[in-house]
Amino acid sequence: MERPHTSAVPPAGTWLEEYRERVEQIRARAEAARARIATVTATARTRDGAVVVTVDQSGHLTGLSIGVRADDMPRARLAETVLRLAGEAAADVAGQVEKIMEPLISGAGR
């Protein structure tokens, strides 16, 4: 007598529990990533330290230091320097955030 064919699908209770476990793991990893991202900052500076710019995890300017060496800079050049450094710091932050999010986005750690 031939045995009835059993499916590879686990019983509904087991499947649901595994699904809930998986969702909880994803939630925990997402929460950990969110907490790490909340602390991300980046700083960019001129070689001589005349201008130092810091941005937060969103790339918003949170710090600006203009040293005495900047006194000799024309205003237009100083403004360009601040904007350039803010862009560099924002790009650094974006890279840091991307690195934190990559395992979640790529599905790594499943």
Q: Is 5 contained in some domain?
A: no
- Identify the band that residue 11 occupies on the pLDDT scale cut at 50, 70 and 90: confident
Q: Is 29 contained in some domain?
A: yes
Domain count, the chain: 1
Q: Is 73 contained in some domain?
A: yes
Burial of 74 (0-12, 13-18, 19+ CB in 10 A): exposed
The CA-based diameter of the chain, rounded to the nearest angstrom, is 96
Domain of 21: which CATH number?
A: 3.30.1310.10
* Domain around 27: 12-106
- CA–CA gap between residue 73 and residue 100 (Å, rounded): 38
pLDDT digits (tens, 9 = 90+) for 19-53: 999 999 999 999 999 999 999 999 999 999 999 99
Q: Is 76 contained in some domain?
A: yes
Q: What is the pTM for the complete model shown? A: 0.77
Q: Is 64 contained in some domain?
A: yes
Q: Is 34 contained in some domain?
A: yes
Q: Is 39 contained in some domain?
A: yes
